Amino acid sequence: MKKCAILMLSIILISCAQRPQRPQSAIELAQKYFKLSERAFSSFPKETPRTIKTFRFKELSVSKQSVLNLQERFGFKPSQDKVRESPSHFWVQDGDWYFEVSKFSGQELVANLASYRKQLQGLRWSLNAEKLEAIAKEYIVKRAVVSMEEVAKVPHIRYATSSVGKAKDNIKVDEDITEADVIFSRELRKIPVIGPGSKLVVTISADGSVSGFYKIWREIDYDAITPQVKTISSVQAMEEFIDKTGRFRQLEHVTYLQVDIAAFGYWASPRHWQQKILLPAHTFVYSMRNEKGFAISKAREELMKAYEGPEVDSLSGIDALKDSRKPIKPNERISIKEREKLEREQQTPEKR
């Protein structure tokens, strides 16, 4: 009897040893099949919670009054007779200022149309990241009408530049910063909200004035009863992503695939889409590269739901995005002009 028990234990140990080990993390698995950009290394989710709470958005009601309220909130006198309507939004222009509210998401856009003329006055850029962040946060608190608890602490800053002078041989073109977008993302219970449908953007000119504001921040109904769903791990999502991109790695003109972004979070759909529920998703942004490391395809996004449970995809925007995109053709390439532009952008300053 004792010998049988020892024999059975030996068989179990041998079978466990022969079984291939599952990668400890999605990033380990990804490195076997893709090259990862620096941004991808920083964006890869460290871990995925086993379960996650879902959220429902409040019912949205947008009318002509919405854009007038937006005007008033930003310190302008409402222009009742100037309001215009399109199938997707209401908008009004008051002098150099433009105001817009989306009917589907409540997205708000405020822009100073004269800011470009200000850029041409030759103001030298002197605003550092700390100053830009302080201006943007003060503006959000005063104008945005959002819960600051949902606003991610560290913003991303994107600079707009204007080339001056002429490019000659290997001389690098001088560039002056003309504007900066201070971009705040959203977090719910320390889980990021990903996708195009949840961000605050404050555009700041060289003189420190705000020349634009963009908000897509659907309001959450915290009193609504919503289900807790079981999540699909980032390793499982990566395995599915590897399968879906396998055919591209086999193309003759493709040397390798590069992943630029890998993220897990609540998926918020674009501004002109209706969305009622926030559900988790995995997203991977990647491109095909040649032997020189240059992109030979436009960046692609693979979006996958990250939950098991109720069939409410149509309310989340996740399936809607999949259905609205054209299928990827294996032989699809970007134009020569676009490729040359991409190669110039990816070259080091010494090679320009």
pLDDT tens for the chain, 352 residues long, are 555 555 555 545 444 444 445 556 888 999 999 999 888 888 888 788 999 999 999 999 999 999 999 999 998 999 889 999 999 999 999 889 999 999 999 999 999 988 766 655 666 788 899 999 999 999 999 999 899 999 998 899 998 876 654 444 443 444 678 889 999 999 999 999 998 899 999 999 888 999 999 999 999 999 988 888 899 999 999 999 999 898 888 888 899 999 999 999 999 988 888 888 899 999 999 999 988 888 888 888 898 889 886 555 555 666 544 433 333 333 344 454 554 555 555 454 444 4
pLDDT reported for residue 65 = 94
55 three-state secondary structure: strand
pLDDT reported for residue 241 = 92
pLDDT reported for residue 140 = 95
Which letter does DSSP use for residue 170 in this model?
A: T
- Is this prediction's pTM over 0.85? no
pLDDT reported for residue 352 = 43
pLDDT reported for residue 33 = 92
List the alpha helices (DSSP H) in 167-312.
Answer: 234-249
pLDDT reported for residue 117 = 60
CA dist 99 to 79, 92, 212, 213, 340, Å?
Answer: 11, 5, 10, 10, 37
Closest CA to 139 of 189, 89, 201, 77: 201
pLDDT reported for residue 136 = 96
pLDDT reported for residue 170 = 42
pLDDT reported for residue 21 = 55
CA dist 132 to 9, 81, 109, 123, 155, Å?
Answer: 65, 36, 19, 16, 10
CB of 188 within 8 A of CB of 265? no
Which letter does DSSP use for residue 68 in this model?
A: H
pLDDT reported for residue 326 = 36
R_g of the chain computed on alpha carbons? 25
The secondary structure element, H or E, covering residue 259 is strand 256-267
Quickly tell me which residue has 């695939």 as its tokens. Answer: 257
- What lies within 8 Å, CB to CB, of 93 at 6+ separation is 82, 99, 113
pLDDT reported for residue 350 = 43
